[in-house]
Structure 1
Amino acid sequence: MLKICVLEDEAAQMERMKAYLQKFQSEHADFEYVLDAYKNAFDLLEHYKRDVDLLFLDIRVPDMSGMEVAHRIREADQNVMIIFVTNLTQYAIEGYSVNAFDYILKPLAYNSFSSKLERALRMLSYRSSDITLDLRTRDGGRRVSADSITYIEISNHDIIVHVGAEQIRQWGTLSKLEAQLREAHFVRCSSSYLVNLKYVHKVRGDQLLVGGDTLSISRPRRKEFLNALAQYKGGSH
């Protein structure tokens, strides 16, 4: 079940969005969703929970710009997929600052809306992972979901698996884990780090923010890493 959230202050546009979602559902038997709809930004931010899969943001609402809303959402939720709804194409470029997936031009047309939604659903499916790792630590065995790992590093012949604020150490090689986690969207940013693309918040120069940590991107790995990140995020960098 997909959770969709919409911020749109124009009643006619909101009704059109709802109608398009219902039409899309009638054409795709496996598409199931719940919808939260908001007319103003403050209500959305007050009630927002980090369980939204897809967020449609109107760029222009009276109480706050959609871009500012997106920045505030990103402070709490790095995973939600954001699609801007706008009549100005210039905002498509600004959208990369908040890892926006795409934008839809007003007035909404069903063909454009449905094609963007199909692409978003493919990417959401692409992101999902049920891969687990059986880690062998000094204290015994531990099973960890790949989805919960922010990144993995090698230090003094130890593998350090970062799961939130926790660090799990085990013996092994980064290459072996890289092969196991390739389908879970882990990519090396250097010879020392294997990164879960889900948790990449920002790339700036030769550094990236992963979870709450800053890692370096090596020059030989830079192009491959950024290409993988762009494909995962659904845009280009």
Structure 2
Amino acid sequence: MMKIGIVDDRQIDLDKIHGIICSVDGVDIVFSTTSAEEAYEQIKKQSIELLIADIEMPHLSGYELADIIHSHALNITVIFVTANSGYAVHAFELQVHDYIMKPYSKERLIQSIERLMEKNKKSEITGRLYLKKKNNIHIVQKKDIIFIERSGRSTTIHTKTGPIITYQTLNELEGELRDRDFLRSHRSFIINIHFVTNFSLYAKNSYIVSFEGIEEKAMITKENVDFLQKHYF
């Protein structure tokens, strides 16, 4: 079930989007609002996969919402439904899924949503990591990886369900984890930034990383902390 949020400051346009989405199988409308500020608060509190937004709204615009999602590396896809064509280039830079001009047909929006759902189904397969373990291969969902640690000749994959040990190197695994979620934080660590809860100063040029859900820690260089602050947080 794809969870969707909708925001458009014109009630008539909001009702149109809401009505169209209700006719699509496999979707759940989490919130529907005329306020971009309210949409932002809902995004912080609730998990959604798709935001459908007008662009030009008072106070906080749909473009600014999309920019927040992009800069914070939130796993939310954006579809703009707008009467303004002037943001098309910027929308491309923010990697939005679609840019739909008003007025539009019911079929146009439905096709866009169905195309995204099909894309997500395909990405579920590529979203798996195949780990070689002696005579077998262990399959783990990338989104469940908290961090990866290299120690001696073995590598430990710390996941939401527990650790997995493999003999693949960090360089090999890094090639499989080129998603925006993962960062080679240190020569011995790869971290999933979505699980990070705290950085604690360890030495002049390094920090200890704490994660949600586990006690194990990782390391990150000061250079990479500065990079995260600039591009993610």
Is the CA contact 1:7–1:39 (under 8 Å) kept in the aligned structure 2? yes
Identity among equivalent pairs (%):
21
Is the CA contact 1:56–1:84 (under 8 Å) kept in the aligned structure 2? yes
Match of 1:87 among 62, 65, 83: 83
Gaps of 5+ in 2: 184-190, 197-219, 225-233
Is the CA contact 2:128–2:139 (under 8 Å) kept in the aligned structure 1? no
Is the CA contact 2:145–2:192 (under 8 Å) kept in the aligned structure 1? no
| 2:14 is the alignment partner of 1:18 | no
Displacement, 1:133?
A: 6.7
Give a deviation string over 1:182-211, Cα, whole Å, max 9, x none: xxxxxx9x756231536269xxxxxxx963
Displacement, 1:135?
A: 8.6
Match of 1:106 among 92, 102, 106: 102
Paired residues for 1:188-199 under 5 Å: 193=174, 194-195=176-177, 197=179, 199=181
Give a deviation string over 1:113-171, Cα, whole Å, max 9, x none: 121111111122223358587797xxxxx99643212676868644353659xx96844
Name the Cα RMSD after superposition.
3.8
Give the 3-state SS of the residue equivalent to 1:82 in structure 2: strand
Structure-2 separation of matches of 1:156 and 1:162: 16
Is the CA contact 2:83–2:101 (under 8 Å) kept in the aligned structure 1? yes
Change (3 A) 1:197 1:105: same
Is the CA contact 2:73–2:181 (under 8 Å) kept in the aligned structure 1? no
Give a deviation string over 1:87-112, Cα, whole Å, max 9, x none: 23342321244332221111122222
Structure-2 separation of matches of 1:163 and 1:94: 36
Residue identity in the other structure for 2:2: L
Change (3 A) 1:191 1:35: closer
Using structure 1 for the length normalisation, give the TM-score. 0.60
Residue identity in the other structure for 2:123: R
Give a deviation string over 1:27-55, Cα, whole Å, max 9, x none: xxx43423411111111112223510111
> 2:56 corresponds to which residue?
60
Displacement, 1:9?
A: 0.6
Residue identity in the other structure for 2:10: E
Change (3 A) 1:151 1:88: farther
Give the 3-state SS of the residue equivalent to 1:60 in structure 2: coil
Give the 3-state SS of the residue equivalent to 2:177 in structure 1: strand
Give the 3-state SS of the residue equivalent to 1:3 in structure 2: strand
Is the CA contact 2:82–2:100 (under 8 Å) kept in the aligned structure 1? yes
Change (3 A) 1:118 1:21: same
Gaps of 5+ in 1: 137-141, 175-187, 202-208, 215-237
> 1:3 corresponds to which residue?
3
Displacement, 1:17?
A: 0.8
Considering Cα pairs closer than 8 Å and 6+ residues apart, tell me whether 1 or 2 has the greater RCO. Answer: 1
Residue identity in the other structure for 2:3: K
Change (3 A) 1:72 1:106: same
Match of 2:111 among 115, 122, 141: 115
Residue identity in the other structure for 2:111: S
